[in-house]
Structure 1
Amino acid sequence: MQWAAPLAVAVAALCFASVQAACPNGFTSIDDVSEGTSTCIRLVQSKSTWQGAKAMCEMFGASLAKLTGDFHQAAIEEIRKFPELTDEAFWIGGSDEKSEGSWYWLDDDPIPLGTPHWYPCNNQPNHGTDQNHLCLYTPDFFYHSLEQQRQIYSICQTDTI
């Protein structure tokens, strides 16, 4: 009977640990309330082009972030935890490079235009074929189209482990 209490504590600890989302080193677990899941993101504080950011995320075993639904807001809240990042823009994983005006995530899911994600005040996305890549732009972190050669930070995303 003396083993029953330690066994119960060990089982409870194991169950609790399995509920906690684990992320690879350098990534933070973010809850996607709309999906009821957790995903790991990394705020990459090294400026690069969109293609460079995509390659860097792949080097981490991740991809440029797909910020949909409430997960977009959760990522904004993560950025705002770091005051030094609130004046920066961040590449995320969308583009209309394949077909002008038709925006897609890297996994080929379509990106709906308009609110609540796109910046509403200057007709985003804009600038036609000059700006084919998706970013979160300061200070509001709505979606913005941007020219791919711009050097900005990025957000990588991967599944929990």
Structure 2
Amino acid sequence: MAHKMRCLLLAAFTLVATRALCPEPYEAVKSKCYYLELEEPRQWDEARTRCQELDGDLAVIHTCDDLGDLVRHIHMSQEEAPFNFSFFVGGTDRGDEGAWYWVDGTPMNMGLPYWGQTDGVHEPSGGEEQNCAELNKNNRYYIHDGECEKYAFALCQYGVVAKL
């Protein structure tokens, strides 16, 4: 009984400590704070503005673990993007076609296992027409380049220091 009580107390303490790590409306995913903004789909610039209004920015994904943790979180929290919408993240090659950077100024990792495929063609594949990164719902939330003017939901991250 004492062991069970210790486990319950540890679980409660961990939950409180994790919640304290992230301000509302963000949720802890490992050591980072994310918010899946599902109120309304927006264009990339509008999605970024929405995240900045919440003292964050569009999410940056530096490691395979970060990508896997986010995708698991999306599935486990049942916060899938409705219909065929995807989630915008903070990557872009605007201004320098083919040179992909996160909004924090770091270069994006290219190729597998980050980027997905469309009809057997590896992403990014949209050329000058598609300059904003998204986690593509139709390709298991791998990164794709999308049109910045299309509508998707914002995936915000707290603590991102914007340099772009």
Give the TM bin, normalised by the shorter chain. Answer: 0.7 to 0.9
- Where do 5+ consecutive residues of structure 1 fail to align? 1-11, 32-37
Q: Structure 1 vs Structure 2: percent identity of aligned residues?
A: 27
The CA RMSD measured in Å over matched residues stands at 2.2
| Secondary structure of the structure 2 residue equivalent to 1:72 | helix
Q: Report the Cα distance in structure 2 between the residues aligned to 1:124 and 1:61, rounded to whole angstroms.
A: 30
Q: Which residue does the alignment assign to 2:162?
A: none
Match of 2:158 in 1: 158
Which one of the candidate residues 47, 60, 73 is aligned to 2:68? 73
Contact 1:136 1:144 in 2 (8 A): yes
Q: 1:106 to 1:84 in 2, by over 3 A?
A: closer
2:81 is matched with which residue?
Answer: 85
Task: After TM superposition, give the deviation of residue 90 of structure 1 in Å.
Answer: 0.2
- Count, aligned residues: 140
Structure 1 residue 68: deviation in Å? 2.3
Hey, what does 2:32 align to over in structure 1? 39
1:85 is aligned with what amino acid? A
Residue 158 of structure 1 aligns with an amino acid whose one-letter code is Y
What CA distance in whole angstroms lies between the structure 2 residues aligned with 1:29 and 1:98?
Answer: 33
Larger Rg: 1
Asked whether the 8 Å contact 1:67–1:75 carries over to 2, the reply is no
Q: Deviations over 1:76-126 (max 9, x none)?
A: 111112165375300000000021001000011001210010014322101
Could you say which residue in structure 1 is the equivalent of 2:102? 105
Give matches, 1:41-60, under 5 Å.
Answer: 41-45=34-38, 46-60=40-54
Aligned to 1:8: none
Structure 2 unaligned regions, length at least 5: 1-8, 160-164
Q: Distance in 1 between matches of 2:79 and 2:24?
A: 22
CA contact under 8 A between 1:66 and 1:92: conserved in structure 2?
yes
The alignment partner of 1:66 has SS state of coil
SS of 1:85's partner is: coil
What amino acid is the match of 2:128? Answer: T
Return the TM-score normalized by structure 1: 0.79
